[in-house]
Structure 1
Amino acid sequence: MIGTSVESPGAAGAPESHTLIPEHSSTDDEQHRVQDLVGTPMRVIEQKTKENADRIQRDTGQRPGTARTRAAVADPGAAGSWSPVIDTPVVPVFTAVLPNGKVLIWDSVGDKATETYPEHDFTRAMVFNPADDTYKRVDLQGSNIFCAGFAHLPNGNILVAGGNANAQLAGTVRTYVFHWQTETWTRGNDMAGARWYPSVAETANGEEVIIGGGPTTAEVYQTNGAIRALPNFTKYSGRIYPFMVSRPDAQLGVFGPETTGYTVTTSGNGVITGTATRDAVNRQYGSFTPYDIGKSLVVGGGDITEGGVTRVPTRTAVVLNSNTGLNPAVTATGSMSTGRRQLNATVLADGSVLATGGLNRTSTSGLVDLANAVTTAERWNPATGQWTVLAAAARVRQYHSTAALLPDGRVLTGGGGICGVCMSVGYLEKNIEYFTPPYLYKNDGSGQLADRPVISAAPDGVGIDAVFTITTPQAADIRKVALVGLGDVTHGVDQGQRYVPLKYTASGTTLTVTGPPAGGTAPPGYYMLFVVDAAGVPSVAKMVQVAKGPTPLMSAIKNSTGRCIDIPSSSLASRTYLQTYNCNNSKAQAVTRLSDNTLRVLGNCIDVPSSNYVTGQRIWSYACNGTGAQTWQFRADGTIRPARNTGLCLAAASNANNAQVSVVTCTLTALQKWTW
C-alpha cells in the first residue's frame, strides 16, 4: 500500500465491505468510441436527444435530467443554495477558469450540417462571464478538441493536448493554446503520440506533463513550447483521464483512477522513484482534490459491491499525504452519504471540499442513470473528516458534467450528455447552475448573505517563500489566507485546482503573508487569493500570479563553469555520494528545498552520514527519515549549513566536474556559497 491504509468508516462508523467487480465496457476502446458518439456533430446529437426527451416527457411527465425529488428549501446558512438554471450555447464538458474570472467552456464538433465535418476540424467553444451570465463564442477552427487534456500555463493561457481526430477513435497529436487576454487560439507543436483522454499536469518548473490517452510514453510541454518525450515513464496509457498532482518535493504524483500509483521526477527523460498501491478500489470516474499542502482527497468512483449492495460506486474516500516520504501515506476518511460515480469534487474557498452530481448505481450504466441520480451536494470538512449533506440541484449532472470554483466563492456547475446512452434517455444539459456554499450566508437562520471580508489591496505577483502584504479592514478577524488554483475540469478530473494555505501575521489593517513554501506546492501561474474570517466567510478573491522558483533549484555561485549539485548517474539508491557537475536541468540536479528545511532529490534527502559532523565528511542522498542529519540552514551569505552543527558549510571540493561535496569548516569561500 501507499503508506498505511485503514478501512473507511461509513455513516454509522462501521467499516465498509468491498467486493471488486472488473470495470465493464468503458475500458474497451471501441465501446468507448460508441459511448462518446465520436463522429457525430453536436447538431445531430442535440436534435436526436431532444426528440427522445420530448417523447419521454410525454410518456412519463418527467423531463429527463430534472431532479426526481427535491427536499424542502433548507436554511442556506446550513445547506447552501442553488441558482436557477441558465441555458448556454455550449455544453460545459470542458471548463477552465481564466485569470480575469471568466470561464472558457467547450464541447465537441460544431452545430453545422453533418456533412461539413468529415475531418473533425471544428470545436464549439465560448468564454462565459459569471458576472452577468453573458458569453462570447470563441470556436476553434482546425481540430476537434473533444476528449483532450488541458491545464493552465504559467502566463494564464490554456494548453490543450490531443482530442478527437475522426470517427475511428483516433486521438490527435495536436496541441493548442487559448490566449485568455485576446480570447484567441493558436496551434502549438505536435506531440509524438496521438492522444484521446489524456491529462495534463502543471509542475514546479513551469512545464506541463502529458500522460495517458493511448500512447505509453509520457511527454512534457516545455516552457519554450517544444515537446520532449519522457521515456522513463510508460506506466499509464489508458484512455481515461489519470489523476495527477504536483508534490511539494517537485515530483509528480500519479495516483488514479487505477489502484497503483507512481511518484515521478519529470526533469530530463524522467524517472519513477516510487510505486505503490493507493487503495483497493479502482476509482474509475471518481474524483480528487488537492486540499492542502501535499495532501489530496480521492473520493467515489468505481463499480463494486459495497455494504452488501452490488454494482454501486463507492461511498468511501481516502487522503494521500505526500509530505511524509517517497510514497504518500494513505489514510481513510469519512464516507459520503451515498456512493457517487461521475461526480465532481471541488475545493472551496475555505479549504473544504464539495461533491456534486453523479449516480449511485452502475447496474444500468456507468455513465448515465437518471433514475439513480445524486443531486444533493455534500461538503467534506478536512478538520473532522466528515461529510455534510447540503441542498439539491435542479438538474442531473452525470457523464460529461463539470464543476469549478469561481473567484466570488460560488461553484459553477454545468453540462452532462453527449454519449450513446445519454442520447437514448434524452439527457443533454446545455446549461449551468451556481451553487452558493453555506459560508456565504449568515449562520443565524435568516437566509441573508453574510458580510464578507474585503481585500483592499494585494500585489499582482507572489514569490515562492517570499513575504508580501494584504490590506484588509478586517485584518484582526482573519483566520485563513490561501491561494486556490484555477480549475481545469472535465470527466470529474480537475488538474488545475489546489488549495495552498499561507502563513501570516496581522497588524492594524495589514496582513504580512509568506508565499508558498515551494514551487511543487504551487506551480507557477495564476491563483485566487482568499482571506477567510472568524465566521468562516471568505472574501472575493484577488487574482495573483505566483512566480516560478529558481531554476536550477540549487546551484553553485562564483563558479565560472556553472557547476550544480548532482546525483551521479541519477541514482535512486540511498548512500549515493553527491558531486558537482555542469548545470544541465537534468533529473539528477532537480534539487528541491522544502519548508521543513530538507533538500530532496530523486525522492531522497541530502544527508550527513551517521550525523558525523566533522570537516571533510562527504555528503550523500538517503531515504528521508525526519532526523537532524537531513535538516539544513540556508543563510543570507549563501552558505548552507547542517542545522546540528552550523560551524560547518556545504562545499564543493573544486570547480571541476565530478567534484566531491562535503561539509567543511566555514570560511565563506566561493565553493561554499550557493544559490537556491
Structure 2
Amino acid sequence: MSSITEPGPTLLDGKETIDRIDVHRNGIADPRRPTPTCRGVTKPRPGGIITVAVGLCRLIVRIRLSCKYTGSGMLLDILSTKLFCMEGHAMALHRYVSLQQGVSLFDSHGFREELVKKPPVHEAGSQAQVNLAGQSTGTAPVPVRRPGYCSLVLLLGLLSGCGDETDLARIGREALVASGAKHLEELSVTAPATSAQAPPESSIAPINGGPRAHLEGAFGPMFVWPVMPIHMVLLPDRRVLAYGTDTAGRQGAGFHYTVWDPKLGGGPEAFLTLPNVTGTDIFCSAQSLLPDGRVVLMGGDENPGTPEDFGNADVNVFNPRTNVLSKAGVMAYQRWYPSLVVMPNGEQVVMGGRINIVRDGPIVYERNVASTPEVYTPGIGWRSLTGATTDAAYGSTAESFFYPRAWLAPAGDIFILGHDGLMFRLDPTAQGTLTPLAAIAPAASERYPGVMFAPGKIISMRKLRQAVVVDINGSEPVVQSIASAALDRQWGNATVLADGQVWLNGGSTTANVLNDAHYVSELWNPTSGLWTPTARATQARLYHSASILLPDASVLTGGGGAYGPVSQLNGEVWFPPYLFRRDGSGRFAPRPGIATAPTKALVGGELTLTLPSGVQARRLTLVRTGSVTHSFNHDQRFMELPFTQTGVQLRATLPANVNALPPGHYMVFIFNGNGVPSKARMLRITAPPPS
C-alpha cells in the first residue's frame, strides 16, 4: 500500500502549525526604479509571442519533471515560473483589453515579501520523503548546498524576466531550505517601488449597493482571474486556492494553480499564480482542507499531452505555508470526478470517479468507474473498502460516480444522497459496509447543488425547481419538501452564509446553455422556509463555476466554461443584504468587531471572545471553511452557538460530538442587534486526545 508522505509531519498527524509566510506589499513611489512588469511589455503583443511563451513553458516543465532536484532542476523551476508568469500576464492582458475594464493589467505595483517565523527546514544530508517538485515518495538525501549558491539562484530568478517577486522569494527560500540552512531568520526581496497603490479590499466591493441592497445584496465589479476557478478552497490564512484550467481558460490543471488574497483586491497583485510541477493534471479532482491546514487533492485527469477525461490515481498536497503543491502518493484506483470525506480521526475516504471510457469521437462504447471506495489512514497507508463496492451509490448507476453527494453524518458514518434520490450509509471501518436506506428523495442529477446548512441537515436542489431538506440526525433520514426555488438551476451553486441562510446562484434551465442562464440569484431562509430574489450578476455562471463564503461574510463566485458557451476567467463578489444599512441608502452598515479570539479550541471546550467596548452580540455562529467544485461544497457546515456575554467577554461551549463539529478550520462570526456580522476570526478546532 502507498502512503501519503511529505517532509515533516505525515499528512494528518495534527502537529504542523500554520506559521505562514507574511507578505507585505509596498506601493510607495520611487521614480528612480522601473516598474516590475514583464520587461518591454506595455501593451498587448501579437499572439505569436504568447504561443512561444506557452510552448517554452510547457517544454521546460516537462524537462523539469524528468530532472532530479539538482542545480539544473532549480534553474528550470525558476525559468518555468517566469514563463508561466509571462504567459499568464499576456493572456490576461488580452482578456482585459477585450473586456474594456479601465486600467491596464500592467499598471505598476511594488511589494516586499519577508519570510519569517520557523520556515520549514531540513538538516543537510537528512532524509526527505518528497522533494519540492513532488518527484519521489521514497526517501532521498537532501542535497547539501552553500548559501552562496542559493543567492545565485535568487539573483538568476530576478533576472529571468517577469512577474511576482513572491515567486522568486519562494524559490529562494526553497533553495535555502534545500541547502540545510538551519537558522534562516529573514530573506526579503524588494521589488521596485511604484507610483500606483495596490488596490485595497474595497476594489472588489460596490461603491454603492443601490436602494435594494438591504433586501437583495449587491455585486461588486467583475475582476479578471489568471485561471478559471473551477475548484476553490478557503485556506486558514483567509486566502483562496483555485485551479482548473491554464491561463487561456483551456481544460487542464497540469500547468497552473493560483492563490487569491482578497484583502489585496481584484488586481493582478492579489494573485500568486504558480506552475504545477507535480506531473498531475488536477483538473476535476477531489479536494479538501485537512485539519492541519493543508489541502489534499485526489485524482484528476489522466493527461498524456491532451485531455483524455480519464482518471488518474495521484494524490497531491498543497501547503499554504510555502504555496507549494507536492506529489504525495497513489491510490489503488484512477478517479476523475471523485468525492472526498475527511473523518474526525483524520482518515480520508475517497469514493466514486471515472477510470476511463472507450469511445469513437462523441460515441461512448464502454465506461469504467471506480465503484470501490478507498481510505487513507495517516501513518499507515491505504486500504480498499471491498465490502462496500457498489454501482448504486458511487458507480455507474445514474452517474453516481460523478462527485457523489456525501457528508460526514452525526452518527460518525458517511451519508450519501444519490443523484437519483436513493440514500445510503457507508461505514468506512475495516473493509467497509454500505447500507441502503428506505427514504427516497425526488430525482435530480449530478448537475444540482446541495449543502449542509445546519448540524445533520442538508438542503438539496432537485429537478424542476424542487428542493428538499434531508435530516440525517436520526437512524433513518427524514425527507421534507420545501418551497420550490424560483428557477431551475442546473450547474448552479448553493452557499451557506454567515447567518445560516443559503444563497443559490448561477446555473441555467437547460444545462450549460447561455441563452437561458440565470443572472438573478435567490436566498433561502431556513426559519421561514421561503425563497427571496437577490441581486443580479453581470456574468453567467454555468458548468465549472463555483461559489464560496469568504471571511468578510461576502461570497466569491467565479468561473464557468471549459467546456461551455463562454470561458469565464473572472470572478465577482456578492455582498449579502446583512452587510448594508436598512435605510435604502445602499451604504455598507457599521460592523461589530471581535477584539481578541483564540486561534485554537477543543471539541467540547470553551470559546472565549473579547469584544470592543460597547459591542453587544446578538448571535454567535460557526461556519466551516468551504471546498467547492462542480456545484458541490462538501466541506461547508454551519452551527449557531448559545453564549453569555458579561461586559466585553463572550463565552460559549462548543459541541462535544466530533461528528457534529469535525476537527478543522472554522470562521467565527458575531452579529449585532441590527443583524450585521463581524468579519470572521479563523478558529482551528481539534479533537481532544484519547482518554
Shared fold per TM-score greater than 0.5: yes
The CA distance in 2 between the partners of 1:268 and 1:153, in whole Å, is: 22
Which of 375, 380, 386 pairs up with 1:231?
386
The CA distance in 2 between the partners of 1:262 and 1:221, in whole Å, is: 21
What is the aligned partner in structure 2 of residue 131 from structure 1?
263
- What's the TM-score once normalised by structure 1's chain length? 0.65
* Two-structure CA RMSD over aligned residues (Å): 2.6
What is the aligned partner in structure 2 of residue 95 from structure 1?
232
The CA distance in 2 between the partners of 1:337 and 1:269, in whole Å, is: 44
Contact kept? 1:476, 1:506, Cα under 8 Å? no
Displacement of 1:502 after TM fit?
2.0
The CA distance in 2 between the partners of 1:230 and 1:502, in whole Å, is: 36
Contact kept? 1:189, 1:227, Cα under 8 Å? no
1:373-384 matches, cutoff 5 A = 373-384=517-528
What is the aligned partner in structure 1 of residue 636 from structure 2?
497
Q: Higher strand proportion, which one?
A: 1
The CA distance in 2 between the partners of 1:111 and 1:477, in whole Å, is: 49
Displacement of 1:110 after TM fit?
6.4
The CA distance in 2 between the partners of 1:498 and 1:532, in whole Å, is: 18
Contact kept? 2:253, 2:283, Cα under 8 Å? no
Alignment-mate amino acid for residue 445 of structure 1: G
What is the aligned partner in structure 1 of residue 626 from structure 2?
487
Larger radius of gyration: 1
1:41-52 matches, cutoff 5 A = none
Which of 216, 221, 233 pairs up with 2:371?
216
Say if 1:260 and 1:525 are closer, same or farther in 2 by CA, change over 3 A. same
What is the aligned partner in structure 2 of residue 334 from structure 1?
483
Contact kept? 1:204, 1:524, Cα under 8 Å? yes
Is 1:148 matched with 2:148?
Answer: no
What is the aligned partner in structure 2 of residue 83 from structure 1?
220
Alignment-mate amino acid for residue 348 of structure 2: E
Displacement of 1:234 after TM fit?
2.0
Structure 2: state its 5+ residue gaps.
Answer: 1-57, 59-83, 99-208, 354-368
The CA distance in 2 between the partners of 1:168 and 1:127, in whole Å, is: 26
Is 1:158 matched with 2:290?
Answer: no
Displacement of 1:330 after TM fit?
0.9
The CA distance in 2 between the partners of 1:225 and 1:174, in whole Å, is: 18
Displacement of 1:321 after TM fit?
0.9
Contact kept? 1:418, 1:428, Cα under 8 Å? yes
Displacement of 1:521 after TM fit?
1.3
The CA distance in 2 between the partners of 1:108 and 1:222, in whole Å, is: 31
The CA distance in 1 between the partners of 2:210 and 2:618, in whole Å, is: 30
What is the aligned partner in structure 2 of residue 350 from structure 1?
499
Say if 1:74 and 1:418 are closer, same or farther in 2 by CA, change over 3 A. farther
Say if 1:535 and 1:283 are closer, same or farther in 2 by CA, change over 3 A. farther
The CA distance in 2 between the partners of 1:78 and 1:291, in whole Å, is: 21
Q: Higher helix proportion, which one?
A: 2
What is the aligned partner in structure 1 of residue 135 from structure 2?
none
1:481 aligned counterpart, secondary structure: strand
1:623-634 matches, cutoff 5 A = none
Say if 1:190 and 1:110 are closer, same or farther in 2 by CA, change over 3 A. farther
1:349-498 matches, cutoff 5 A = 349-360=498-509, 362=510, 366=511, 368-419=512-563, 422=564, 425=565, 427-473=566-612, 477-498=616-637
What is the aligned partner in structure 2 of residue 508 from structure 1?
647
Please list the CA deviations of residues 607-644 of structure 1 after superposition, one character each: whole Å capped at 9, or x if unmatched.
xxxxxxxxxxxxxxxxxxxxxxxxxxxxxxxxxxxxxx
Please list the CA deviations of residues 454-501 of structure 1 after superposition, one character each: whole Å capped at 9, or x if unmatched.
111111111111112111137873232122111111110112111122
What is the aligned partner in structure 1 of residue 447 from structure 2?
285
Contact kept? 2:299, 2:313, Cα under 8 Å? yes
2:322 aligned counterpart, secondary structure: coil
Please list the CA deviations of residues 493-542 of structure 1 after superposition, one character each: whole Å capped at 9, or x if unmatched.
11211112223222111111111331111221111111122322111000
Contact kept? 1:108, 1:144, Cα under 8 Å? no
Contact kept? 2:592, 2:615, Cα under 8 Å? no
What is the aligned partner in structure 1 of residue 206 from structure 2?
none
Identity %, equivalent residues: 32
Displacement of 1:225 after TM fit?
7.0
What is the aligned partner in structure 2 of residue 523 from structure 1?
662
The CA distance in 2 between the partners of 1:267 and 1:97, in whole Å, is: 29
The CA distance in 1 between the partners of 2:210 and 2:676, in whole Å, is: 22
The CA distance in 2 between the partners of 1:537 and 1:321, in whole Å, is: 29
Say if 1:83 and 1:121 are closer, same or farther in 2 by CA, change over 3 A. closer
The CA distance in 2 between the partners of 1:384 and 1:225, in whole Å, is: 48
Which of 254, 261, 264 pairs up with 2:416?
254
The CA distance in 2 between the partners of 1:79 and 1:525, in whole Å, is: 32
Displacement of 1:108 after TM fit?
3.1
1:342 aligned counterpart, secondary structure: strand
Contact kept? 1:250, 1:520, Cα under 8 Å? yes
Contact kept? 1:102, 1:129, Cα under 8 Å? yes
1:138 aligned counterpart, secondary structure: strand
Displacement of 1:395 after TM fit?
0.2
Displacement of 1:73 after TM fit?
5.1
Contact kept? 2:218, 2:577, Cα under 8 Å? yes
The CA distance in 1 between the partners of 2:274 and 2:604, in whole Å, is: 38
Alignment-mate amino acid for residue 107 of structure 1: G
The CA distance in 2 between the partners of 1:255 and 1:266, in whole Å, is: 16
Contact kept? 1:110, 1:122, Cα under 8 Å? no
How many residues align? The count is: 463
2:334 aligned counterpart, secondary structure: coil
Which of 317, 334, 338 pairs up with 1:177?
317
Displacement of 1:222 after TM fit?
2.0
What is the aligned partner in structure 2 of residue 316 from structure 1?
466
Displacement of 1:161 after TM fit?
0.4
1:497 aligned counterpart, secondary structure: coil
1:41-80 matches, cutoff 5 A = 74-80=211-217
What is the aligned partner in structure 1 of residue 347 from structure 2?
207
Alignment-mate amino acid for residue 196 of structure 1: W
The CA distance in 1 between the partners of 2:210 and 2:611, in whole Å, is: 34
Is 1:107 matched with 2:244?
Answer: yes
The CA distance in 1 between the partners of 2:253 and 2:626, in whole Å, is: 26
